[in-house]
């Protein structure tokens, strides 16, 4: 079992955990509140009391950078298994949002430390809306308390997340939570906006879509589900 630190308030658990990189030892951090929660693409992540804010620092002996998608799938499966255990049916919006009832229940931010073509360590940051109020993000985000008549305690969600994070996961489990393949999606790739059909997720994590008669492979394009 890795070392776990619990904090009341911190700017960002992903930032805070970086001080442990020099120790080269796996560790996880939970915070009750974040004052500077970070999202992907330089965005912020609403992090009021009542949510779960978690980061894990993991060192790898032999993780090729080409396999780094598995870090993401593992994180997503941990969150989805946690949601399901607590009575919510989650869905993965590629690559890293966990949604329920069409809104975002959880976000994942991964920062990898590379050494040549290897991943030396990863920082996996997970935020889950449990009892916090996300009404400021109207229609975009959702909290467990809106989905369940008797929502779990923040502590119960932390415990479940930790258990799921500490067990291995498979790519098949990840794919079992992906429901948009075969559907029309809106893609915004840099400046470009278009509609395409999602066809499959490749083993390295890229998304294959069909646009007209052409196949396109997306890495970090934004997609929106209909």
Given the rule CB under 6 A, which residues bind ligand BTN? 12-14, 34, 37-40, 43, 45, 53-55, 97, 107-109, 125-127
Minimum separation from the CB atom of position 106 to ligand BTN (A): 8
Minimum separation from the CB atom of position 112 to ligand BTN (A): 14
Nearest residue to ligand BTN, scored by beta-carbon proximity: 107
Task: Report which DSSP code applies to 64.
Answer: B
Rounded-to-integer distance, Cα 55 and Cα 28, Å? 6
Q: Which is nearer to ligand BTN, 54 or 119 (CB)?
A: 54
β-bridge mates for residue 58, sequence order: 122
Q: Which is nearer to ligand BTN, 141 or 196 (CB)?
A: 141
By CB atoms closer than 10 A (0-12, 13-18, 19+), residue 140 is exposed
3-state secondary structure at position 207: strand
Q: Which is nearer to ligand BTN, 43 or 211 (CB)?
A: 43
Minimum separation from the CB atom of position 93 to ligand BTN (A): 10
- Scan for tokens 């395409």, then name that residue: 196
Q: Which is nearer to ligand BTN, 38 or 158 (CB)?
A: 38
Q: Which is nearer to ligand BTN, 38 or 131 (CB)?
A: 38
Minimum separation from the CB atom of position 23 to ligand BTN (A): 19
Minimum separation from the CB atom of position 41 to ligand BTN (A): 7
Rounded-to-integer distance, Cα 188 and Cα 208, Å? 14
**Cα angle 178, 15, 174; round to 5:** 15
Q: Which residues contact 158 (CB under 8 A, 6 or more apart)?
A: 30, 52, 54
Q: Which is nearer to ligand BTN, 8 or 214 (CB)?
A: 8
- Scan for tokens 């066809």, then name that residue: 199
Q: Which residues contact 102 (CB under 8 A, 6 or more apart)?
A: none
Minimum separation from the CB atom of position 211 to ligand BTN (A): 26
């Amino acid at each position: 079992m890795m070392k776990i630190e619990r904090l009341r308030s911190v700017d960002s658990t992903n930032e805070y955990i970086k001080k442990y990189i020099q120790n080269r030892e796996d560790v996880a951090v939970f915070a009750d509140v974040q004052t500077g929660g970070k999202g992907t693409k330089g965005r912020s992540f609403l992090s009021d009391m009542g949510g779960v804010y978690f980061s894990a620092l993991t060192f790898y002996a032999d993780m090729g950078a080409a396999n780094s998608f598995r870090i993401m799938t593992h994180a997503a499966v941990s969150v989805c298994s946690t949601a399901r255990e607590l009575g919510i049916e989650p869905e993965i919006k590629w690559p890293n949002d966990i949604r329920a009832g069409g809104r975002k229940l959880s976000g994942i931010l991964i920062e990898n430390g590379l050494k040549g073509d290897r991943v030396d360590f990863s920082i996996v940051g997970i935020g889950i809306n449990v009892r916090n109020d996300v009404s400021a993000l109207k229609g975009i985000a959702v909290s467990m308390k809106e989905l369940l008549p008797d929502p779990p305690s923040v502590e119960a969600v932390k415990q479940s997340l930790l258990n799921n994070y500490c067990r291995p996961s498979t790519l098949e489990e990840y794919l079992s939570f992906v429901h948009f393949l075969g559907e029309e999606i809106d893609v915004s790739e840099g400046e470009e906006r278009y509609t395409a059909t999602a066809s499959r997720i490749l083993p390295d994590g890229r998304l294959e879509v069909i646009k007209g008669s052409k196949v396109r492979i997306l890495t970090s394009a934004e997609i929106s589900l209909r």
